[in-house]
Structure formats: C-alpha cells, structure tokens
Amino acid sequence: MKLLKGDIVHAPALGALETIPDGALLLDDDGTICEVLHEQPQDFDGEVFDCTGKLIMQSFADMHLHAPQFPNVGTGMDLPLLDWLKAYTFPVEAKFADLSYARRVYRRLARDLIANGTTRVCMFSSLHTDATLVLMEELERAGVTGFVGKVNMDRNGGENLQETTEESIRETLRWLAECSRFTRIKPILTPRFTPACTDELMAALGKISAEKGLYVQSHLSENLDEIAWVRELHPDCAQYWESYDKFGLWKDRTIMAHCVHSDARERSAIRQAGVVVAHCPDSNINLCSGIAPVRQMLNEGLWVTLGSDIAAGSSLSGSQMVTMSIRASKIRRFTDPEKPAFLTVPEAYYLGTTSGHRYFGAGNGFAAGDRLHAVVVDDRDFTETPRALSLSERLERALYTMTAANVCAVWSEGRLVLDRRTAAPVRKTAARSRKLG
Amino acid sequence: MKLLKGDIVHAPALGALETIPDGALLLDDDGTICEVLHEQPQDFDGEVFDCTGKLIMQSFADMHLHAPQFPNVGTGMDLPLLDWLKAYTFPVEAKFADLSYARRVYRRLARDLIANGTTRVCMFSSLHTDATLVLMEELERAGVTGFVGKVNMDRNGGENLQETTEESIRETLRWLAECSRFTRIKPILTPRFTPACTDELMAALGKISAEKGLYVQSHLSENLDEIAWVRELHPDCAQYWESYDKFGLWKDRTIMAHCVHSDARERSAIRQAGVVVAHCPDSNINLCSGIAPVRQMLNEGLWVTLGSDIAAGSSLSGSQMVTMSIRASKIRRFTDPEKPAFLTVPEAYYLGTTSGHRYFGAGNGFAAGDRLHAVVVDDRDFTETPRALSLSERLERALYTMTAANVCAVWSEGRLVLDRRTAAPVRKTAARSRKLG
C-alpha cells in the first residue's frame, strides 16, 4: 500500500467540491485508490509520498485536441475556421508523412501534456496511419492515456492531405489491427467532419464502429459557414448532426467538439443519443466561431467536457482550458439576452476533470476503485496573501495562475509519471509532517 | 557605445510591424537608442550583448493595475464589480497599513513585473501614503518606471479603508512632497472613482493637479450599476465623465481605465480632451463588465492603451494582456451587430507597447533618442515548426505562449535590469555570432 499526503481538492459532482486539508489518498500497489482519508493515519507501513502543504488536484482530461497541429500553437490566429484550415492546418498536418518529424513533435507533445497535468485525452491525429501509431507510442511512453484517432478525410482536404475512400478504409483497418499492442491508449474512429468525408466513407466508418464496438469523435456546428456547407452537402438533413446519424456515427459516447451553434433541437438530439460535447472555449473565441451555450446544455442534462483544441486553442494547459471556460460563460452571460449564469470555479473544474475522466470509465472525483489520475501543484511560491486561503480559494488561484513550473508530480493510471519533488519519497520513520502552507 | 544583437520586432505605428532579422540596436553608454541597425556592424569596439536567434521585443507598458490587489490575483472572480470591491478588494487593501507586509508584497510585485517584461506602469497604490512610498521604492529598485498614485477615497470605502476629506488632501500633499526623491517613478493623482470621492475632495485634487502640473488616473464606465450610481451622485452630469470634468480632472493625458460602456458622446469627450483609455480586457470579462468598443475607439482616433488590471485581471503578464485584447476584440466581432474588425497581432502589440510607452514621452517603436525599454525572449525551445517562421509569426507565438521562463533579458530606461542569458556579455573579439534559430 502507498499513501499520498497533501491538501486534496476534487469534484465529485457538477458544482460540488470536496476539500480535505492535510488529507491522504490510500493507494494499492498498482495505484488504485482504496480510500480518500480525511485524517492521515498514525501508523502506516507502506511508501509515503509526502506532498504536505501542496495541492493534490485531479489531473485534467483534454477531450478535444489535434496532435499534428501542435507545432502551430500560437500562430495564425487571424482567420475564420475554413480559411484557417487551408492556410495553416492542412499544410502542417501534411508534414506528418515524415515519421521522424512526427516522432520528435509527438514526444514533445506527450511530455508537455504531462508537464501541464493532463493525463487523459481524446485526440485527433492526422490521416497518416504510421504517424498515428508513433503518436500512440509516444503518449503511452509519457504516461498519457485515452483515445487517439487516425483522421479520415477523402474530400476537401489539403495538398498531400487527402485519401481516396478506399485508402481511408483500408488504412483505418490496418491502423486498428496495429492498435492491439497499446494498453493505455485506445483507438477511436475519427471522421474529420462531414465536409471532409464522402457518404461512402461515412457509411464504412459507421459499419466498422458497429462491428468493432468503437467510439467515434468528430466536429459539430462550430461555425455558421461550416453549417451552411453541410446543409449543401446533405440537403436531406435538417441539421448538421443528422449527417452523422445517417451513417450510424451519432450514438452513445460519440464525442462532438464545439457545438457552438447547436440549437434546442440539436441539443435534444445530443442528449437523447448520449453524445458527449467537447466544449473548446479558447478555440471558439480565437476563430470567432462564437460561444457555446454551455449553461443551457448543463441545464438540459447534456454531458459536457472540455477541450484545448490546439492549435485553434492557443494553449495545451488544462488549467487555462478550465479558466477560459469560465471566461466564455461570462461572455455568454453579458451578451446573451437570457443572461445565463456563468460557470463557477467548482463547475468548470468538474468539466475539465471528472466529466472527462468519466468518459474513460472513471468514477466521481477521486473515487475508490479508480487508478489514480492526479496532479500535485506547489502553490507555496504564489504571492503572500493577507490571510490563509481556504482550499477552494487555493484551487481557484492555481487554476488561474499555475504554469508547468508549479506542477511537481503527476499520477496517471496509478503510475507516478512525473516527479519533480525535491525530496525522495519519505518513509514512515522519517515522516514528521511539517505544515508549510 | 553598446550593441544589442538579435531578431528585432517593434511596432512604430498602429498595425505596422517592423521586423529585422539579425538586426542590432546601437546604444549610448546610458542605454539611449542611437540607431536601429538592419545589418550588424563588422567592426564594433564597444560592449556587445549577443542575443542572436532570440526575439528583441519592446517591453510591455501596463497602463492600469492595482498594486495592493496583487495578493488577490486568481481569487474571488465570481462577483460583479461593486460586490467584488467589498468582498475581496477593500479587505486586502486595508492590510497595507502594515509597512513590512507592503514591503514584501511590493518587492515581489516589482520583481514579477520585470520578470514578465513589463517596464512601464500606471499603477494604483492603496490610500496609505507610507505604503505608497514603499511601493515606489520597490518599483524603482527593480527597474520598473512610470507613474504611481496614492489612492484618494473619502466615501464608500471599506472597513479601515477610508479617509476623511481633510486627511486625504493632507496625505496627498505629504506624499507629493516625498516623491521628489524618486527618479524613475513619478506621482499621478488617483481619485479612486467618482463614487469613492466627495465633491470637496475632487475639487481639491483638481486644484492640486492644475497647480503642480500633475496627471490624473481613474476609472470610467466599467459597469452599468456603477454608471447608474454616478448618475445618482451627480444628477447634474449627463454622463459619468462629466463628474471628473466638473472638477478639472478631465484633461489632456488623464488616464481612464475601462470605458467599457462609453458611447459615442462619451468617446467624443475622451478624444477632445486628450484623455487616454486603458483597456483592460481580462478584467472586463472576469467581472462580467462587458467588452469595450476598442475598434470604434481606434477608428475615432482615441488614444487606447492596455492594462492588466490585477487583481480583476488574473495575470500580470504583458503578453497575456495583449492576447486577451485580441480575444476581446474577436468577441466584440461576433457579438456586436456592427461586426467590428478584430485587433490584429501587430495592432494589439502596438497597444500593449508603443501606445503605452508614448504616454511617458517615448517615440514610436524603438526610436532613436529614447532610453531602451526591451524584453529579450528566447523562443528557441518552442515546438519545432515544419518550416522556419517569419519574425512576425514568432512574435505572435511568443505573445500567445511565452511565460516568464522565456524572458532572458529586460532593459528598462536604458538599464539591463534582468539578465538570465547564460553567457556573460560577449566582447568584440569573441563575437563570432552563430545563428541558433
């Protein structure tokens, strides 16, 4: 057994925050949470990870990002979606035919995700099968878990960035056959979006999804031009989502990124199908797409998660993803005539952690029986406050101001995958816990 | 003479960016810019600061922030302005009666400003005269230049945070007398905002301003409740700005933070008086105040600068202040029926640098005759891009993604105030410049 000691903050439900000062997580040898302890045990025999005075937070779950766009982070943010795809996105994605380039970029990406406390992802690769396998290798090596999808795109792609329908299907099957070697990264079917996939390809993916029991991720209603384009391509569909539904891709646990312009009818279809929304606030602002009606979605019972959506989002940081969702909800509050309530810090933290982790089968917050996914944040060097802050205030401050420099340990799937604590794990005999905060 | 070599990016005018790869700044011994060189001289006799391969950017000018709120950064962002002042802001400001606390917080603030590349500020202190002098000492020690104001507040303050009118005037005069000992930090008169100052105090400040030739800073039209409150307090004023005008405080170079709800008439008054707008996008979003009509202001010829407005803004970072102004302008684009053009990167960079520096008498961009204000950003560890980026693309990426960790040198008022370059300044004989980027 192992013990992780520190100031615990987790979100067992939307809007609920449990804060446990000087608490501890009791772990199995394989890193499974046995119990969340409100008092530290007096006589403990196993290994102790003493993070006293530091924040033990849930790690972040980034439910929508594009791995091959990582080199574009922070550049080319001056165009709307469809122009931006052509000018910036497709050219960089085409480079991933080069596997050594892919290896270097994806190794850095995986390292940076962990360094920022993100341990679970739903990620788009490019259409390149081999680079996708490289991506999965590098994520697994760094300790990032979750789903990765080889992109399918047999129309309206970029130069050197389009498959034939037959190629796309064949490569998807080849990729899936190779995926059996991964243990913590699983495949997810990834038609890029309706305008990039022919009906024949969509139908084939629907069939593969049903036969192999695979989940699906794609994009939905990000931008008005895109919606109009889908309407032209599928005049028989009253709404964008039906272009996925038609081919068996609109179903339980399908992840749809954005949903900025999803109206009541489309939101109802999302809820009824069990589709999961990946809300990407920074991306939606940067590309002038709009702001998704997240409060309405939550009120209506939709499953909402968060995504960084790099490189339309400008940061890989899970904490910035969370705080940008708060900002977006505030903008919605002062621009939407219905003045929806903005997201509170506990709500946004839940969306960026528990809500995403549940997609991978996790329970609520730090739940007994789950392998630990946690980030330890050292906030002791933050500005001196005039009074001691509560744990929920420290969480808020960490979310708004932390950088990778404050992350001192990360657990993913029960394993300690980043350890920047200066001291080695402290054994029971030496464990004279000193309050530092 | 000295030579600073590197990749130069500066903004000589709104929307104009001059990029000089492998350029150099030729400096006097006191750090005054003699010339911006597009080619590095072959035979140079003086000291060489070799930042080859790094970005030499203008430092940031933060034209509105509250020093005593620094301990609150990243906390308490869930209330609108007037409630937020009472719950979070006034209690922390009251602590600055304690000079040793003030010394510790302000030393850290000054250090963090320089570490993030901000060298010029227009800053609110609290109403405490002695803590304000401590703040000025610490800024001057760290190399931050600009204006600081002891706050005047003789009504509607917080517990232990209000002066009598007589005290406020007397302490202002005592403070001004003490300010003569500072060389790089100057005093600016700082009535907190109309609801916090009686007519008698406002009149006295107007008189002091005129007699001593002092500039003024305050807040304007941040929030609709605040505007309604001012209307109640000054029923004779058709608009908020007139409550300053009435007392001689609305004049050339008066800085007004926010101006979120300034309509055409108020904007016209701003332009005609030569008032300077300090736009604080992050703060305005966090407090649900709204988004200032910056594009309209620029089209109408108003002088717009940027402010971090900590602690309503959640970051001291000048680069985040710049990128948040771009995001805010994009939100305005997709929510304002007039669809104003959003700020381009060169425009926002200008607002966060040159536009602010000009307030202190600087010229346009790196101008000959000005003492150097610059930040050197090491962007070589950013993600590998598939092709070499242009200097303007590197600027965009730095603005969106840099942290203090990327800042490797800062010049303020001609002095090197932060130096994290690993190598000591390279002398001519050893100056075999190697291209690293």
pLDDT tens readout for residues A188-206: 999 999 999 999 999 999 9
State whether residue A31 is helix, strand or coil. coil
Rounded to the nearest angstrom, the minimum Cα separation between B76 and chain A is: 7
Which residues, in sequence order, are bridge partners of residue A25?
Answer: A4, A36
For residue A193, what are the CA distances in angstroms to A186, A410, B287?
A: 20, 33, 36
Q: What is the pLDDT of residue A422?
A: 64
CATH number, domain with residue B257:
3.20.20.140
CA B349, distance to chain mean position in Å, is 12
Pair (B138, B18) in one structural domain: no
- CB neighbours (10 Å) of residue A98? 14
B contacts of A336 (beta carbons < 8 Å): none
Q: Which helix (H) or strand (E) holds A87?
A: none
Which residues touch B56 (CB under 8 Å, ≥6 apart)? B4, B6, B7, B8, B9, B23, B25, B374, B375, B376
Rounded CA-CA distance A329/A313 in Å is 16
pLDDT at A425: 39
| B99 close to A (CB below 8 A) | no
| In a shared domain, residues B120 and B217 | yes
Query: What range defines the domain where residue B296 resides?
Result: 60-352
SS3 label, residue A222: coil
A245 touches A269 (CB < 8 A)? yes
Nearest to B95 among A74, A101, A386 (CB): A386
Tokens of A363: 């329970």
**Whole-number Cα distances in Å, A236 to A39, A243, A248, A271:** 61, 9, 16, 22
Is B335's Cβ below 8 Å from some Cβ in A? yes
Q: Is residue B435 part of a domain?
A: no
pLDDT of residue B424: 41
Residue B362 maps to a domain? no
Q: What is the pLDDT of residue B77?
A: 86
Instruction: Match 């929510």 to its residue by tokens.
Output: B335
Percent of chain A at pLDDT exceeding 90: 88
- How many Å apart are CA B275 and CA A56, to the nearest integer? 48
- Which residues of chain B are under the pLDDT cut of 70? 422-437
Over residues A210-222, mean pLDDT: 98
> What are the structure tokens assigned to B320, written together?
């985040």
On whether residue B120 sits in a domain, the answer given is yes
DSSP bridge partners of A403 = none
Buried b (16+ CB within 10 A) or exposed e, B381-391: ebbebbeebeb
Choice between B270 and A160, residue whose per-residue pLDDT is larger: B270
For residue A430, pLDDT over 80 is answered with: no
> Which of A298, A324, A352 is a domain's end point?
A352
- Chain A residues whose CB is inside 8 A of the B92 CB are 385-386
**Domain boundary residue among B326, B352, B378?**
B352
Interface predicted TM-score (ipTM): 0.94
Residues B275 and B394 both lie in one domain: no
Q: Are residues B85 and B213 in the same domain?
A: yes
User: SS in 3 state form for chain B?
Assistant: CEEEEEEEEEEEECCEEEEEEEEEEEECCCCEEEEEECCCCCCCCCEEEEEEEEEEEECEEEEEEEHHHHHHCCCCCCCCHHHHHHHHHHHHHHHHHCHHHHHHHHHHHHHHHHHCCEEEEEEECCCCHHHHHHHHHHHHHHCCEEEEECEECCCCCECCECCCHHHHHHHHHHHHHHHHHCCCEEECEEECCHHHCCHHHHHHHHHHHHHHCCCEEEEECCCHHHHHHHHHHCCCCCCCCHHHHCCCCCCCCCEEEECCCCCHHHHHHHHHHCCEEEECHHHHHHCCCCCCCHHHHHHCCCEEEECCCECCECCCCHHHHHHHHHHHHHHHHHHCCCCCCCCCHHHHHHHHCHHHHHHHCCCCCCCCCCECCEEEECCCCCCCCCCCCCHHHHHHHHHHHCCHHHEEEEEECCEEEEECCCCCCECHHHCCCCCCC
What pLDDT is stored for residue B329 in this prediction?
98
Residue whose C-alpha is closest to residue B304's, from B342, B262, B360, B356: B356
Specify if A435 maps to a domain.
Answer: no
Separation CA B47–CA B50 (nearest Å) = 9
Residues 6+ apart with CB under 8 A from B204: B165, B168, B169
- Pairing type for strands B374-377 and B303-306 reads unpaired
Domain finish residue from A352, A384, A406: A352
Q: Does residue B425 lie in a domain region?
A: yes
| Statement: residue A432 has pLDDT above 60 | no
- Crossing angle between the packed helical segments A129-142 and A165-178, to the nearest 10 degrees: 30
Q: Which residue of A has its CA nearest to B336?
A: A335
A396/B344 CB distance under 8 A: no
Closest-CA distance, B347 to chain A, in angstroms, reads 12
| Gap from A261 CA to chain B (nearest CA, Å) | 12
Look over chain A and give the mean of its residue pLDDT values, rounded to a whole number. 94
B308 is written with which tokens? 């971090």
Nearest-by-Cβ selection for A383 from B70, B76, B393: B70
B299 touches chain A (CB under 8 A): no
Q: Which of B74, B314, B401 minimises the CB distance to A314?
A: B401
Provide the token pair at B412: 């303020």
Q: Does the structure show a pLDDT above 50 at A127?
A: yes
B410: its two tokens: 């800062």
Question: Is B335 in Cβ contact with A331 (below 8 Å)?
Answer: yes
DSSP secondary structure letter of residue A368 = T
pLDDT reported for residue A437 = 25
Q: Which of these, A201, A189, A126, lies nearest to A160 by C-alpha position?
A: A126
Distance from CA of A23 to the nearest CA of B (A): 23
- Could you tell me if B77 lies within 8 Å of chain A, comparing CB atoms? yes
Same domain, B180 and B293: yes
pLDDT at A386: 81
Q: Is A50 helix (H, G, I), strand (E, B) or coil?
A: strand
Residue A435: predicted pLDDT: 30
- The side-by-side arrangement of strands in the sheet containing B16-27 is B33-37, B16-27, B2-13, B47-58, B374-377, B407-412, B415-419
Q: Which residues, numbered 105 to 144 in chain A, qualify as contacts with chain B under a Cβ-Cβ cut-off of 8 Å?
A: 105, 108-109
Q: Domain total for chain A? A: 2
Q: What is the pTM of this model?
A: 0.95
- The structure tokens 């049903």 sit at A210
Output the pLDDT for position A379: 93
Distance from CA of A387 to the nearest CA of B (A): 9
Is A18 within the bounds of a domain?
A: yes
**A71–B385 C-beta distance less than 8 A:** yes
Confidence of residue A426 (pLDDT cuts 50, 70, 90): very low
Same domain, B398 and B414: yes
- The answer to whether residue B365 sits within a structural domain is no
pLDDT tier at A421, thresholds 50, 70, 90: confident
Residues A348 and A374 in one domain: no
Cβ-based neighbour number of residue B368 at 10 Å: 12
Q: Would residue B273 count as lying in a domain?
A: yes
Average pLDDT value for residue range A52-60: 97
User: At A191, is the secondary structure helix, strand, or coil?
Assistant: strand
Q: What one-character DSSP code corresponds to residue A353?
A: T
Q: Across the interface, do B78 and A345 touch by the CB < 8 Å criterion?
A: yes
Tokens 């992780």 -> residue: A4
Do A404 and A329 sit in the same domain of this protein?
A: no
Q: Which helix (H) or strand (E) holds A82?
A: helix A81-84
User: The CATH number of the domain where A402 resides is what?
Assistant: 2.30.40.10
Instruction: Say yes or no: A95 and A64 in one domain.
Output: yes
Asked if A396 reaches chain B (Cβ–Cβ under 8 Å), the answer is yes
**Measured between alpha carbons, how far is B430 from B110 in angstroms, rounded to an integer?**
34
Q: Which residue of B309, B383, B403 is the best one to mutate when testing the A interface, meaning the one whose CB has the most A CBs within 10 A?
A: B383
Same domain, A300 and A213: yes
Written as six digits, the tokens of B69 are 């709120």
pLDDT for residue B350: 98
The verdict on A208 touching B (C-beta cutoff 8 Å) is no
Contact flag B75-A393 (C-beta cutoff 8 Å): yes
Q: Which helix (H) or strand (E) holds A171?
A: helix A165-178
Same domain, B67 and B46: no
Q: Cα(B400)–Cα(A78) distance, rounded to whole angstroms?
A: 13
Helix (H), strand (E) at residue A403: none
Residue window 158-197, chain B: list those with CB within 8 Å of chain A. Answer: none
CB contact (8 A) between residue A386 and residue B108: no
> Within 13 A of B16's CA, how many CA atoms are on the CB side?
9
- A37-60 average pLDDT score: 94
Min mean pLDDT across A2-6, A43-47, A65-69 is at A43-47
Per-residue pLDDT at B422? 63
Residues of B in contact with A405 (CB under 8 A): 403, 405
* Cβ contacts of A109 on chain B, cutoff 8 Å: 383
Helices (H) and strands (E) in chain A, counts: 15, 17
Q: Could you check whether the bond before residue B311 is cis, i.e. omega within 30 degrees of 0?
A: yes
Both tokens of B106, joined, read 């302000």
> pLDDT tens for residues A72-100?
999 988 877 788 888 888 889 999 999 99
How far is the alpha carbon of A94 from chain B, nearest alpha carbon, in Å? 10
Tokens of A406: 């404050």
> Same domain, yes or no, for A373 and A329?
no
> Using one digit for the tens of pLDDT, what is the confidence trace for A332-361?
999 999 999 999 999 999 999 999 999 999
Alpha helices by DSSP H, listed for A274-390, are 281-286, 294-299, 318-335, 345-352, 354-357
Contact flag A78-B345 (C-beta cutoff 8 Å): yes
Those of residues 361-390 in B touching chain A at CB distance below 8 A are 382-386, 389
- C-alpha–C-alpha distance, residues B56 and B266, integer Å: 38
Residue identified by tokens 């920047």 is A420
Distance separating alpha carbons of residues B147 and A226, to the nearest angstrom: 49
Residue A319 one-letter amino acid? S
With b for 16 or more beta-carbon neighbours within 10 A and e for fewer, the A26-46 pattern comes to: bbeeebebeebbeebeeebee
Query: Mean pLDDT over residues A103-120, rounded?
Result: 97
